[in-house]
Structure 1
Amino acid sequence: MLSSESVLYYALGGGLGHITRTLAILNHIEHPDSFRILASGRWAHLAEPYSPVPIDRVPKSCMNSRSDYGAFLEDYIRRHGVRQIVLDTFPFGIVGEWRGQFPEISRFLVARYLKWQDYLKRIALPRKELADENLANTLIIEPQAPAYEAFLSRKSRTTFLYDPIVFAGHDLRTRTPGQETAWLVVHSGDRKEQDALLSFANEKRKQMGHENTILDTVFPNQGIYPAQKIMGNYSHIVSAAGRPWPFTPMTSVAIS
Structure 2
Amino acid sequence: MIVCYAQGGGLGHLTRIRAYLHTRGPAGGPVAILTGSPFAGDPRVVAGHRVLSAPAGLDRDGLTHWIGGTLARLRPREFVVDAFPAGLSGELSAAAVPAGTRVVHLSRLLRWDAYLPLLAADSLRFAETLLVEPVGGAHRAYLDSVSSAVVPLTLADPPEPAPAVPVAPGGWLIVHSGPAAEVAELVAYALDVAAIEGARPEFTLLSPSRPDVLPPGIAHHDVYPAWPLFAGAERIVTAAGCNAVRQLARWPERHRMLPFPRRFDDQYARAARARAATGA
How does the TM-score come out when normalised to structure 1? 0.79
Q: Which amino acid aligns with 2:51?
A: I
* Residue 38 of structure 1, CA deviation: 1.4
Partner of 2:156: 166
Cα distance, 1:196–1:143 mapped onto 2, change above 3 Å: farther
SS in 2 for 1:55: strand
Partner of 1:215: 203
Q: Which amino acid aligns with 1:145?
A: G
Q: Which amino acid aligns with 1:9?
A: C
Partner of 1:97: 91
Distance in 2 of aligned mates of 1:48 and 1:76? 25
SS in 2 for 1:43: helix
Is it true that 1:12 corresponds to 2:7 in the alignment?
A: yes
After the TM superposition, which residues 27-66 of structure 1 pair with which residues of structure 2 at under 5 Å, given as runs? 27-28=22-23, 29=25, 31-48=27-44, 51-62=47-58, 65-66=59-60
Please list the CA deviations of residues 86-106 of structure 1 after superposition, one character each: whole Å capped at 9, or x if unmatched.
Answer: 001311111111134325243
SS in 1 for 2:204: strand
Partner of 2:213: none
Aligned residues of 2:60 and 2:90 also touching (Cα < 8 A): no
Please list the CA deviations of residues 210-229 of structure 1 after superposition, one character each: whole Å capped at 9, or x if unmatched.
Answer: 2x211111111254222234
Aligned residues of 1:218 and 1:224 also touching (Cα < 8 A): yes
Distance in 1 of aligned mates of 2:108 and 2:28? 22
Paired residues, what number?
A: 237
**Correspondent of 1:185 among 167, 174, 178:** 174
Distance in 1 of aligned mates of 2:16 and 2:255? 18
Percent pairwise identity: 25
**Correspondent of 1:196 among 172, 182, 185:** 185
Distance in 1 of aligned mates of 2:244 and 2:46? 27
* Residue 8 of structure 1, CA deviation: 0.7
Q: Which runs of 5+ in 2 are unaligned?
A: 211-221, 260-266, 268-280
Tell me how large the CA RMSD over aligned residues is: 3.0
Q: Which amino acid aligns with 1:137?
A: E
Distance in 2 of aligned mates of 1:138 and 1:225? 28
The structure 1 segments of at least 4 consecutive aligned residues displaced by more than 6 Å after TM superposition are none
Aligned residues of 1:43 and 1:220 also touching (Cα < 8 A): no
Aligned residues of 2:2 and 2:29 also touching (Cα < 8 A): no
* Residue 17 of structure 1, CA deviation: 2.6
Is it true that 1:22 corresponds to 2:17 in the alignment?
A: yes
Cα distance, 1:50–1:71 mapped onto 2, change above 3 Å: closer
SS in 1 for 2:145: helix
How does the TM-score come out when normalised to structure 2? 0.73
Aligned residues of 1:26 and 1:32 also touching (Cα < 8 A): no
Larger CA deviation: 106-115 vs 14-23: 14-23
